[in-house]
């Protein structure tokens, strides 16, 4: 009886570990996002000691230096000095969030696709799941 009490948690642990290993293996096929190229195209300055490449799930923080460059990618109302966070959310896909406290506290977010040469294009927005039919 005690043996089965031990085997169930152990089996759950092994299944969880193998699932995590599979996810890491799937993510390793994607090339990391080169942050310096992206930062230049977005018009931001990276903070000291920022990562130079982003794997899926990693992010860096920067300060907005050229609002016109960021505006060309869909974030139009930010001013110089705004905080910009760049997060790799998928293979070749980044989430860019800009926020500022003055003159008015607000934030904006865009999803961008990063091509192999560093070119940035709007990423398709995820579609909402279909609603079940009314009963």
Per-residue pLDDT 10s for the chain (135 aa) are: 455 555 555 444 445 444 444 444 454 567 899 999 999 999 999 998 999 999 999 999 999 999 999 999 999 999 999 999 999 999 999 999 999 998 889 999 999 999 988 899 999 876 777 788 887
pTM of the model: 0.72
What pLDDT was estimated at residue 21? 43
Where are the domains positioned within the chain? 1-30, 33-122
Does the N-terminal peptide bond of residue 103 adopt cis geometry, omega within 30 degrees of 0?
yes
Residue 14 · residue 69 · CB < 8 Å? no
Residues 6+ apart with CB under 8 A from 99: 82, 83, 105, 106, 107, 108
């Amino acid at each position: 009886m005690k043996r089965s009490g031990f085997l169930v948690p152990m089996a759950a642990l092994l299944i969880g570990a193998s699932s995590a290993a599979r996810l890491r293996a799937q993510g390793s096929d994607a090339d990391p996002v080169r942050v310096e190229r992206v930062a230049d195209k977005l018009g931001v300055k990276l903070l000291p000691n920022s990562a130079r490449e982003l794997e899926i799930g990693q992010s860096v923080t920067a300060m907005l230096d050229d609002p016109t460059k960021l505006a060309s990618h869909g974030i139009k109302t930010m001013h110089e000095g705004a905080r910009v966070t760049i997060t790799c959310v998928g293979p070749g896909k980044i989430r860019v969030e800009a926020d500022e406290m003055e003159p008015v506290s607000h934030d904006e977010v865009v999803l961008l696709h990063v091509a192999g040469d560093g070119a940035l294009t709007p990423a398709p927005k995820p579609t909402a799941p279909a609603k079940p039919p009314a009963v």
